[in-house]
Amino acid sequence: MIALKLGVTADDVKNVIIWGNHSSTQYPDVNHAKVKLQGKEVGVYEALKDDSWLKGEFITTVQQRGAAVIKARKLSSAMSAAKAISDHVRDIWFGTPEGEFVSMGVISDGNSYGIPDDLLYSFPVVIKNKTWKFVEGLPINDFSREKMDLTAKELAEEKETAFEFLSSA
């Protein structure tokens, strides 16, 4: 979406973060994203100059993408999931390029972003020698904090529901 809006290829956009759950609460965060424009790397906010779109339609569209794919195709969005799996395997195998990170659903234990332990939560990670590590020290503004906490709350509730179900089975 960002690449289309800026008239560049998707390869020219990097370090977009998806925080949290794979649901309508996921938070696509471009605060740390970069785009290559005319050979120069700039922040996405600076490049787009459209905070309203980035904090509104962009987030909503990404959050609803799975449902939109199913509605448009009248079929499962399984190919999107398969593509994500393929991308993750590639990233694990080859690692992330220097200065770049990817978002990956990993166990939240030991993160520095205030997300409770024991959740499978999407974080920005770097991968080297087939081992992932959290990207540390990214500043989180109040808008992002609220979105990150909302998706963490949903995951914690889903975890609790799953444990209740398992304990009664």
What percentage of residues in the chain have a pLDDT greater than 70?
A: 94
Q: What is the 3-state secondary structure (H, E, C) of 53-73?
A: HHHCHHHHHHHCHHHHHHHHH
Task: Give 32's contacts (C-beta < 8 A, 6+ positions apart).
Answer: 15, 17, 124, 138
How do residues 124-164 score in pLDDT, each as one tens digit? 999 999 999 999 999 999 999 999 999 999 999 999 999 99
In angstroms, what is the C-alpha Rg of the chain?
Answer: 17
The active-site residue out of 22, 55, 88, 153 is 22
Query: How many other C-beta atoms are found inside a 10 Å radius of the C-beta of residue 78?
Result: 10
Q: Which two tokens stand for residue 32?
A: 């740390």
Q: Which residues of the chain form beta strands (DSSP E)? A: 13-14, 17-19, 27-29, 34-37, 40-43, 102-107, 120-128, 131-134
Tell me the CATH number at 33. 3.90.110.10
Instruction: Say which amino acid occupies 131.
Output: T
How do residues 57-71 score in pLDDT, each as one tens digit? 999 998 887 776 667
Q: How many CA atoms lie within 13 A of 146 on its CB side?
A: 3
How do residues 84-93 score in pLDDT, each as one tens digit? 899 999 999 9
> Catalytic residue at 32?
no
CA dihedral of 9, 1, 147, 96, whole degrees rounded to 10: -20
Overall number of domains in the chain: 1
Cα 67 from Cα 73, distance rounded (Å): 10
Domain range for 70: 1-168
